[in-house]
């Protein structure tokens, strides 16, 4: 199953999932699909970058938000490791289903 087939199926089933896409720097357009407890699909171009971005994607998913993260091409994240290194910007897009409790609060006429 492709990354997009897996993404579509997870969204339809309301399962939490995050898609990481390189938007600036080396490997623009590379994608990584991350689901809690599942194997990561795709690559951003380096195994360590994949590992760090997957970790960050799970954190964004847990928080229920999306955002842009910046790394070195080999997953570097600390300022001293990024000196004179090309930057990679990755957009992490999260699909985190709302909990039943939160959904019922939104639908309640009392609120």
Contact (Cβ atoms closer than 8 angstroms) between residue 20 and residue 32: yes
- Number of neighbours of residue 66 by Cβ within 10 angstroms: 16
Average pLDDT per consecutive 10 residues, the chain (111 residues; last block may be shorter): 94 96 96 96 97 97 95 87 87 84 45 45
In the chain, the DSSP E strands lie at 17-24, 31-34, 41-42, 67-71, 88-95
Give pLDDT, residue 102.
42
Instruction: Name the one residue in this structure whose structure tokens are 């600036």.
Output: 24
| Surface-to-core class of residue 15, CB atoms within 10 Å of its CB (0-12 exposed, 13-18 middle, 19+ buried) | middle
Give pLDDT, residue 97.
82
Give pLDDT, residue 80.
80
């Amino acid at each position: 199953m492709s990354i997009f087939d897996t993404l579509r199926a997870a969204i339809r089933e309301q399962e939490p999932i995050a898609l990481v896409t390189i938007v600036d720097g080396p490997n623009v357009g590379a994608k990584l699909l991350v689901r809690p407890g599942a194997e990561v699909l795709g690559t951003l171009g380096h195994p360590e970058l994949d590992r760090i971005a997957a970790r960050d994607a799970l954190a964004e998913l847990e928080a229920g938000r999306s955002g842009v993260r910046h790394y070195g091409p080999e997953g570097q994240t600390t300022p001293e490791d990024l000196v004179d290194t090309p930057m990679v910007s990755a957009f992490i897009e999260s699909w985190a289903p709302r909990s039943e409790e939160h959904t019922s609060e939104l639908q309640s006429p009392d609120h």
